[in-house]
Amino acid sequence: MQITILGNSGPYPRAGGACSGYLLEDERFKILLDCGNGVLSRLLGKIKSLNDLDAIILSHLHFDHISDIMVMKYAIGINQEKGMTNKSIPLYAPNDPQDIYDMLQFKNAFKLNELNSKSILTFGDMKISFELMSHPITTYAVIVEKKGKKFVYTSDTKYCDVLIEMSKEAELLLCECNLLEKDKTEDAYHLSAREVGEVAALADVNKLLLTHIWPEYDLNEVLNEVKIMFSGDVEIATELETFEI
């Protein structure tokens, strides 16, 4: 498997950057995980056509994870009308909030499927399961397993015990890292860099990638705070880079 980083900021981008979006591929399948602002144009630079996508998974319906879906649906729906494609792309998302979920569809752009914590998707020998995170709306972490290797994408969450359990001995943990410890408040719904390091250490992950970083932060400061707790392989999920799993 490989994962290409299409955006690594949250909840708004750096100049020239993008918010959450990751292209997961193996030899047969292409799956887009989240589709935040700025992701669509970068995705189109990586694939020949949207028809190449086998599925889209939206971890939750905050706009920094879905806003380019609202534009992608025009691309697909209008091209269907023009007879350029008849494919509806399977799209999986939690239906919370319902009014936002109802806005995802346009024409027959997508085959909509509601996600829940029991959902299991299989693409060849890739198995994808989900864990409920701790965030203001229903949010799922995405766990991908293939040939004994595990890739975990946390989506957005504050600290919760299931983070460690689901990340246990992951080959690659793509973890949200939205805050520095000094900026963390009681009601924060995101992880601090220190907490990310702790999760990676307790879960004994092989490699840690940091994403969903507040765009005003110095990336070295974020990295250094993670390294206080985690001595393993860690780097920023640099936009447009591809990582092997």
The residues binding Zn ion (CB under 5 A) are 10, 62, 64, 156
Q: Would you say 9 or 85 has its CB closer to Zn ion?
A: 9
Where do we find the tokens 């009308």?
81
Where do we find the tokens 């990751």?
22
Q: Would you say 21 or 77 has its CB closer to Zn ion?
A: 21
State the minimum distance, in angstroms, from the CB of residue 223 to Zn ion.
20
Q: Would you say 126 or 153 has its CB closer to Zn ion?
A: 153
d(C-alpha 204, C-alpha 208), whole Å: 10
Q: Would you say 10 or 77 has its CB closer to Zn ion?
A: 10
State the minimum distance, in angstroms, from the CB of residue 155 to Zn ion.
7
- Other C-beta atoms lying within 10 Å of the C-beta of residue 169: 11
- For the sheet with 207-211, list strands across it: 120-123, 126-132, 140-146, 149-153, 172-176, 207-211, 233-236
State the minimum distance, in angstroms, from the CB of residue 108 to Zn ion.
28
110, 104 Cβ separation under 8 angstroms: yes
33, 13 Cβ separation under 8 angstroms: no
State the minimum distance, in angstroms, from the CB of residue 190 to Zn ion.
8
